[in-house]
Amino acid sequence: MVDKWLDGICNYDGPAADLPTGGYCKIPNWAPEKVARFWIVMDAESDEGVKEKKTLELSKDDIIIGVRMNPKTLAAILKTYGADFYKIRDANGALHTPSEWEAKYRSNGLGLVALRNMRRKISGGGIHF
């Protein structure tokens, strides 16, 4: 039996505790950003305030604030791999299915992981000064 003496001591509940830190997938080389149809980026100069861009249209200067994923692709993945095809890791290391994440945090965990990953990809990853 594993000792539980650290339970409750190392829980993070500060700023952004409701954002995912990544995840684990049953599908090799798959990540949530691979089902993005459009990225919603800030466009303060337009009347709408935002615009949609496809992945290849994104630039380093874009501020991505949302994603529209292909629901049919997600449905096909769910049909093949099941509801636990992707486990989203929270700030304290616990893993949640997309539906568990939504029930707990009231947000789209897959979408948030996709945003995080795409922001890293377009910025070049690594450390920036």
Alpha-carbon span 44 to 102, nearest angstrom: 29
Domain membership flag for residue 59: yes
Number of domains forming the structure of the chain: 1
For the chain, what is the total number of helices (H) and then of strands (E)?
Answer: 3, 6
Domain membership flag for residue 54: yes
Domain membership flag for residue 15: no
Domain membership flag for residue 32: yes
Q: What is the pTM of this model?
A: 0.85
What confidence tier does 109 reach under pLDDT thresholds 50, 70, 90? Answer: very high
Domain membership flag for residue 3: no
Residue 127 has pLDDT above 80, yes or no: no
Residue 128 has pLDDT above 60, yes or no: no
Residue 3 has pLDDT above 70, yes or no: no
Domain membership flag for residue 5: no
Domain that holds residue 76: 23-123
Bridge partners of 43?
A: 49
3-state secondary structure (DSSP) of residue 7: coil
Domain membership flag for residue 128: no
What confidence tier does 87 reach under pLDDT thresholds 50, 70, 90? Answer: very high
